[in-house]
Chain A
Amino acid sequence: MTLLKRIAPQLVALALLVALVTVFYPDFLKIGISGDRLVGPMIDVLKRGAPVALLATGMTLVIATRGIDLSVGTTMAICGAVAASAVAGGWGLGPALLLALAAGALAGLWNGLLVAVVGIQPFVATLILMTMGRGIAQLITEGRILTFTDAGFAFFGSGSLLGLPVPAWLWLACGLGMAALMRRTALGLLVESIGINRRASALAGVNATVLLIAVYVVSGLCAALAGIVVTADIRGADANNAGLWLELDAILAVVIGGNSLLGGRFSIIASLIGALIIQTIDTGILLAGFPSEYNLVIKAVLVLVILVLQSPRIAGEWRLWRDSHRASREAALQRGAAK
Chain B
Amino acid sequence: MNTRALPLYATVVIFLLAYLLCWLQFPNILSTRVIGNLLTDNAYLGIVAVGMTLVILSGGIDLSVGSVIAFSGVFIAVILRETPLHPLVVFALLLALTTAFGAAMGFLIDRLAMPAFIVTLAGMFLARGAAYMLSIDSVPIAHPFYKTLQSAYWLMPGKGRLTLIAVVMLLTVLAGMVVAHKTRFGASVYALGGGEATARLMGVRQGRTTMLVYAFSGLMAGLSGIVFSIYTGSGYSLATVGTELTAIAAVVIGGTLLTGGAGYMFGTLVGVLTMGLIQTYIVFDGTLSSWWTKIVIGVLLLVFILLQKGLLSLSQSRLAAGG
| Alpha-carbon distance between A189 and B94 when the two chains are bound, in angstroms | 50
**Contact residue among B122, B136, B248, B249 (Cβ-Cβ distance under 8 Å from A303):** B122
Do the beta carbons of B129 and A294 come within 8 Å of each other? yes
Do the beta carbons of A293 and B125 come within 8 Å of each other? no
| Alpha-carbon distance between A304 and B306 when the two chains are bound, in angstroms | 34
B152 CB-CB contact with A under 8 Å: no
Chain A residues near B119 (CB, 8 Å)? Answer: 307
Chain B residues near A119 (CB, 8 Å)? Answer: 309
| Alpha-carbon distance between A308 and B115 when the two chains are bound, in angstroms | 12
B318 CB-CB contact with A under 8 Å: no
Cβ-closest chain A residue relative to B245? A131
B37 CB-CB contact with A under 8 Å: no
Chain A residues near B61 (CB, 8 Å)? Answer: 123
B149 CB-CB contact with A under 8 Å: no
Chain A residues numbered 101-136 whose CB sits less than 8 Å from any CB in chain B: 118-121, 123-124, 127-136
Do the beta carbons of A303 and B301 come within 8 Å of each other? no
CB distance from A307 to the nearest CB of B (A): 5
Do the beta carbons of B123 and A135 come within 8 Å of each other? no
CB distance from B239 to the nearest CB of A (A): 14
Do the beta carbons of B294 and A134 come within 8 Å of each other? yes
B179 CB-CB contact with A under 8 Å: no
| Alpha-carbon distance between A136 and B119 when the two chains are bound, in angstroms | 29
| Alpha-carbon distance between A313 and B122 when the two chains are bound, in angstroms | 19
Do the beta carbons of A307 and B126 come within 8 Å of each other? no
Chain B residues numbered 108-124 whose CB sits less than 8 Å from any CB in chain A: 108, 111-115, 117-119, 121-124
Do the beta carbons of A297 and B129 come within 8 Å of each other? yes
Cβ-closest chain A residue relative to B294? A135
Q: How many residues of A contact B (CB 8 A)?
A: 48
A6 CB-CB contact with B under 8 Å: no
Q: Mark B38-80, 1 if CB is under 8 A from A, else 0.
A: 0000000000000000000000010000000000000000000
Q: With contacts A293-B132, A303-B125, A313-B112 known, is A244 near B241, CB below 8 A?
A: yes
| Alpha-carbon distance between A307 and B43 when the two chains are bound, in angstroms | 34
Q: Mark B278-301, 1 if CB is under 8 A from A, else 0.
A: 000000000001111111011101
User: Chain B CB within 10 Å — which of A127, A301, A311 has the most?
Assistant: A127
**Contact residue among B111, B136, B289, B294 (Cβ-Cβ distance under 8 Å from A293):** B136
CB distance from A82 to the nearest CB of B (A): 15
Selected interface stretch from A37-45, A92-100, A138-146: A138-146
Do the beta carbons of A304 and B122 come within 8 Å of each other? yes
Binding site for A on B (CB under 8 A): 61, 108, 111-115, 117-119, 121-126, 128-130, 132-133, 136, 241, 245, 248-249, 258-259, 289-295, 297-299, 301-302, 305-306, 309
Binding site for B on A (CB under 8 A): 68, 118-121, 123-124, 127-139, 142-143, 239, 244, 248, 251, 255, 261, 291-301, 303-304, 307-308, 310-314
The 9 closest A-B pairs by CB, nearest first: A132-B298, A135-B294, A296-B129, A293-B132, A138-B291, A297-B129, A300-B125, A135-B295, A300-B126
Listed A/B pairs (17) with beta-carbon separation below 8 Å:
A121-B259, A127-B245, A128-B301, A131-B298, A138-B294, A251-B118, A293-B129, A294-B133, A298-B129, A299-B125, A300-B123, A300-B126, A300-B129, A303-B118, A307-B114, A311-B111, A313-B113
